[in-house]
């Protein structure tokens, strides 16, 4: 990483040069107490801009497939171009361009990238209280598909950096890069995967922030904000049982392969592989004041504290199996000679097929006649936990939510950060969209679900974070 930023360069918010009144003083007053005049005015503008932008993005339906992100991408381009960014649209498919916007400093230095995607999963309007493409604001929330995943983060980032650039701010060294991609929800073939493979030099960065962390949770009476430092790998496989076909009217004539699946399902229902905590979950346990030397006891205590929260935290501690599809005979009157069970298997970052097979053996060991075949093999990757970027995140949270802390985490799922880490091994990539008001439990329940919505105060909170971080790291 060229000229990695150091902590000394992280300026306390409040001395942002000519725009000093941009700077919040932090602390509870910035959230709820009496605002001071100049600052609150600018804060209010940033909040209003982020909110308006999110409404606009939500109203542009970008359900993928087909995606159709062009209008949304173009509206971001015009905001950023006007603010002073150099913008470029790069498209694998003409109607689905990605946006790369940069703001260069006078001197060489690190590149800080804010990454986001504009496509969403589908929504069935009949299941929603407010139309999923309305962007309605009601009960303190902005409602709509993408309001959490992840047009909110994109809106907060764009409002933050456009405001900075419009006010005349430029990085003292290095550059600020904003990359908004298409096609994340179906794998990123036209988005981050294509960009990293085809235009690597244009999106190369030293520090990257993306989705995947930041909603607060409470444990042992303290508030924490998870920073996603790693993503698990995906090793999906098929379990096959075989038998002999026969007429279904005489069940004992053939050998029913589907019935042989019963003990397999039973094992998946009741058994699980041993914990395999990697560096992230161990750092998480340390971070929340638990005993990293006895992870199972620590997980039991977390379970007693909040079993719903444990459901979200536990997958980072090892290999997980979720059988999701089963198939056997195509005909109702034919005993199946073959049955197949598809299993979604996620492994800790860095783990490969041998570790996945070992975990399968722990759960299915002793059952005869099973064939196991892997259908997808993606090794998860990670960024270092200790970095100037992590320090900066921790300092900002400590300042803006006194008593709260950041903690490292590994994500059970998969995001575009994976592509950037793979393409640029020196890049430190984290998932972080700080949410002070809407908790991790509330947020996770609304992702990809009906009534997806964001507390509008969190939109402002995050926009201030992205603004302050850029100034803090790039000067």
Beta strand pairing status for 233-234 and 237-242? unpaired
Which segment (151-159, 204-212, 428-436, 467-475) binds Zn ion by CB under 5 A? 204-212
Closest approach of Zn ion to the CB of residue 8, in Å: 34
Of 185, 158, 193, which is closest to residue 72 (Cα–Cα)? 158
Q: Which residues pair with 107 in a beta bridge?
A: 173
For residue 200, count other CB atoms closer than 10 A to its CB: 12
* Residue 153 vs 399, nearer CB to Zn ion: 153
Token couple for 260: 């042989």
Closest approach of Zn ion to the CB of residue 222, in Å: 28
| Number of residues in contact with Zn ion under rule CB under 5 A | 3
Q: Are 191 and 184 in contact (CB under 8 A)?
A: yes
* Residue 395 vs 435, nearer CB to Zn ion: 435
d(CA 137, CA 129): 12
Which segment (55-63, 205-213, 309-317, 391-399) binds Zn ion by CB under 5 A? 205-213
Residue with tokens 């850029």: 470
Under the binding rule (CB under 5 A), the answer on residue 150 touching Zn ion is yes
* Residue 253 vs 445, nearer CB to Zn ion: 445
* Residue 142 vs 150, nearer CB to Zn ion: 150
Under the binding rule (CB under 5 A), the answer on residue 416 touching Zn ion is no
Closest approach of Zn ion to the CB of residue 212, in Å: 8
* Residue 115 vs 463, nearer CB to Zn ion: 115
Of 84, 75, 76, which is closest to residue 164 (Cα–Cα)? 84
* Residue 101 vs 150, nearer CB to Zn ion: 150
Which segment (75-83, 145-153, 352-360, 377-385) binds Zn ion by CB under 5 A? 145-153
E strand map for 136-185? 137-138, 141-143, 173-181
Strand, coil or helix: 103: strand
Helix, strand, coil distribution of the chain in percent, nearest 5: 40, 25, 35
Beta strand pairing status for 222-231 and 405-411? parallel
Under the binding rule (CB under 5 A), the answer on residue 149 touching Zn ion is yes
Of 454, 436, 469, 443, which is closest to residue 30 (Cα–Cα)? 436
Closest approach of Zn ion to the CB of residue 121, in Å: 9
Binding flags for Zn ion, 94-133, as an x/- string (CB under 5 A)? ----------------------------------------
Which segment (132-140, 209-217, 267-275, 299-307) binds Zn ion by CB under 5 A? 209-217
User: What residue ranges bind Zn ion (CB under 5 A)?
Assistant: 149-150, 211
């Amino acid at each position: 990483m060229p000229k990695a930023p150091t902590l000394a360069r992280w300026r306390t918010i409040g001395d942002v040069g000519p725009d000093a009144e941009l700077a919040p003083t932090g602390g509870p007053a910035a959230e709820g107490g009496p605002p001071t005049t100049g600052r609150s005015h600018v804060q209010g503008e940033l909040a209003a801009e982020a909110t308006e932008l999110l409404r606009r993005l939500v109203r542009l339906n970008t359900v993928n497939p087909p995606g159709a992100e062009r209008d949304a991408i173009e509206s971001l381009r015009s905001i950023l171009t006007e603010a002073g960014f150099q913008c470029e649209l790069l498209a694998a498919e003409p109607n689905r361009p990605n946006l790369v916007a940069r703001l260069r400093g006078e001197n060489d230095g690190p590149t800080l990238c804010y990454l986001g995607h504009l496509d969403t999963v589908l929504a069935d309007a009949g299941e929603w209280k407010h139309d999923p493409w309305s962007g309605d604001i009601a009960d303190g929330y902005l409602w709509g598909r993408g309001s959490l995943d992840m047009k909110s983060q994109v809106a907060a980032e764009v409002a933050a950096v456009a405001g900075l650039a419009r006010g005349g701010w430029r990085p003292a060294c290095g550059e600020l890069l904003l990359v908004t991609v298409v096609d994340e929800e179906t794998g990123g073939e036209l988005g981050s995967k294509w960009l990293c493979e085809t235009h690597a030099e244009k999106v190369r960065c030293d520090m990257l922030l993306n989705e995947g962390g930041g909603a607060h949770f409470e444990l042992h009476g303290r508030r924490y904000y998870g920073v996603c430092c790693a993503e698990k790998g995906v090793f999906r496989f098929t379990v096959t049982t075989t038998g002999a076909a026969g007429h279904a009217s005489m069940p004992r004539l053939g050998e029913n392969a589907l019935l042989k699946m019963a003990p397999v399902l039973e094992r998946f229902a009741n058994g699980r592989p041993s914990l395999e905590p990697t560096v992230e979950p161990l750092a998480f346990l340390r971070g929340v004041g638990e005993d990293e030397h006895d992870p199972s006891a620590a997980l039991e205590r977390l379970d007693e504290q909040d079993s719903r929260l444990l459901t979200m935290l536990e997958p980072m501690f090892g290999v997980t199996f979720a059988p999701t599809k089963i198939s056997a005979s195509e005909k109702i009157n034919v005993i199946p000679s073959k049955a197949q069970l598809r299993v979604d298997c996620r492994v800790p970052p860095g783990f490969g097929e041998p570790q996945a097979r070992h975990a399968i053996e722990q759960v299915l060991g002793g059952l005869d006649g099973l064939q196991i075949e892997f259908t997808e093999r993606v090794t998860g990757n990670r960024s270092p936990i200790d970095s100037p970027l992590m320090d900066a995140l921790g300092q900002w949270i400590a300042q803006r939510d006194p008593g709260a802390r950041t903690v490292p985490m590994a994500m059970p799922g998969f995001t575009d950060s994976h592509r950037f880490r793979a393409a640029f091994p020196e890049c430190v990539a984290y998932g972080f969209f700080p949410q002070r008001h809407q908790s991790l439990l509330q947020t996770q329940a609304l992702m990809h679900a009906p009534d997806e919505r964001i507390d509008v105060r969190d939109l402002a909170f995050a926009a201030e974070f992205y603004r302050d971080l850029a100034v803090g790291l790039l000067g």
